[in-house]
Amino acid sequence: MKLEGVELRRIAMPLVAPFRTSFGTELNREVVLVRVVSPDAEGWGECVAMSAPRYSSEYVDAAADVLRRFLVPALLALPDPDVYGAERAFARFKGHPMAKAALESAVLDVSLRESGTSFGTFLGAVHDTVPAGVSVGIMDSVPELLTAVDRYLDEGYLRIKLKIEPGWDVAPVRAVRERYGAELLLQVDANTAYTLADARHLAKLDPFDLLLIEQPLPEHDLAGHASLAQLVRTPICLDESITSAAVAVHAINIGATRIVNIKPGRVGGYLEARRIHDVCAAHGIPVWCGGMLETGIGRAANVALAALPNFTLPGDTSASDRYYTRDITDPFVLEDGHVRVPTGAGLGVEPDPDALDAVTVSTEWLAA
């Protein structure tokens, strides 16, 4: 494949409601979109870094910088770029998995559009639709939380994830479990807000039969998660900690994680995400697809990934209207609690030019 160049586009999209986690509140989603152009097609990728380095060390301005100065030039220097060559070229630079994933996805998209293959087919999808969960932010009060959960369940979401932090954990979990009963698929996500000294407190979540507790301890503390797993009955699921297939295997082997959240951005792209899916399957560890408040571009790829066979738990792959009044692609909608896997070439969706214009902050073109 020959490339003509790469466009980096900054967009900003207001969320329909503030989304509060243990590390901060998101109101306005700033995103770097990547467009890779060949003579015959163009491919899109979405960088999932947030505005500030709070979920992980990456953030939007740093991602734009590393793309502009290192990753895009490395891609454009390849004599015959494809997704595998791009992955190898990016591996020479340390870190920045979200920036790498965005550009790698755009390369994959353009090549799949050229060959008429969908993301789902390329990755190995085995389902036409995927079950949708929803991640519910920290609220000011339990009644406010129940109002939000009521609405999501009315809309058809099949699983509820509550964001937790010290001071907002047992009480909201109890209230939701009591209101909706034992059948509700319910899990929690701490985004690293606890320490091992909180083990006895976290064990108070055990009676509520949660599917999992996601990332209770800091990112680098795999050993701590293994110790915590001996002290709580609720399965531990790692998110932030799982940065590669190698780390996933290590975490599984030491007993730090019984379920894995896969986010392609966190692990450097869809190739590595698929490897994590595969090694988890080989170890009997179920996986599910995380979310980073994606637009329809990132969502299309995530939904395709979530259709692989070992994605056996509903993901944070919610419908577009859970995030945005107007998505930049045709919106993803809930159908009986499921989201449909696109079948067209590449991502199977593209930005609507007017919707994109309305949210664009700046663009830059890097020519081959």
Just list the catalytic residues. 163, 263
Residue among 46, 87, 239, 327 that touches Mg ion (CB under 5 A): 239
C-alpha to C-alpha distances, 95 to 79, 235, 243, 266, nearest whole angstrom = 24, 29, 10, 10
Considering beta carbons, is residue 15 or 366 the nearer one to ligand SMG? 15
Work out whether 318 is an interface residue with ligand SMG (CB under 6 A).
yes
Per-position x/- string for 8-27, each x denoting binding to ligand SMG as judged by CB under 6 A, each - no binding: -----------x-x----x-
| Phi, psi of 310, deg, nearest 5 | -90, 5
Residues in contact with 120: Cβ distance below 8 Å, sequence separation at least 6, in sequence order: 304, 307, 341, 342, 343
Is 216 a residue that touches ligand SMG (CB under 6 A)?
no
Partner in contact with 292, chosen from ligand SMG, Mg ion, none, beta carbon below 5 to 8 Å by kind: ligand SMG
327 binds ligand SMG (CB under 6 A): no
Among 189, 198, 272, 350, interactor with ligand SMG by CB under 6 A: 189
CA 259 to chain centre: 15
When CB distances to ligand SMG are compared, the closest residue is: 291
Question: Closest Cα to residue 101, out of 286, 317, 269?
Answer: 269
Residue numbers 129-148 binding ligand SMG by CB under 6 A: 135
Q: Which long-range contacts (CB under 8 A, 24 or more apart) does 15-20 make?
A: 15/293, 15/323, 15/324, 16/321, 16/322, 16/323, 16/324, 16/325, 17/137, 18/137, 19/135, 19/137, 19/293, 20/137, 20/138, 20/139, 20/163
> Considering only residues 43, 291, 342, 351, which one is a binding residue for ligand SMG as defined by CB under 6 A?
291
Q: Which does 316 bind (CB under 5 to 8 A by kind): ligand SMG, Mg ion, none?
A: ligand SMG
CB of 322 to ligand SMG, least distance (A): 7
22 near 192, Cβ under 8 Å? yes
Residue type, 164: I
Strand partners for 47? 32
Q: Which of 42, 58, 189, 198 binds Mg ion (CB under 5 A)?
A: 189
* Residue 34, helix vs strand vs coil: strand
| Residue showing tokens 């009986």 | 336
**CA angle, corner 263, sides to 347 and 288, nearest 5?**
95
For 61, residues 6+ apart whose C-beta sits below 8 A from its C-beta are none
Quick one: 293 or 349, whose CB is closer to ligand SMG? Answer: 293
Q: Does 97 bind ligand SMG (CB under 6 A)?
A: no
C-alpha dihedral sign at 91, 95, 99, 102: positive
Q: How many CA atoms lie within 13 A of 264 on its CB side?
A: 27
Nearest residue to the partner Mg ion, using Cβ: 239
Q: Please report whether residue 56 would count as binding ligand SMG according to CB under 6 A.
A: no
191 binds ligand SMG (CB under 6 A): yes
Least distance to ligand SMG, CB of residue 169, Å: 15
Piece of the chain touching Mg ion by CB under 5 A; list 103-111, 239-247, 277-285, 298-306 = 239-247
Per CB under 6 A, does 316 bind ligand SMG?
A: yes
The residue ranges that bind ligand SMG (CB under 6 A) are: 19, 21, 26, 50, 55, 135, 189, 191, 239, 290-293, 316, 318
* Residues at the contact surface with Mg ion, assessed by CB under 5 A: 189, 214, 239
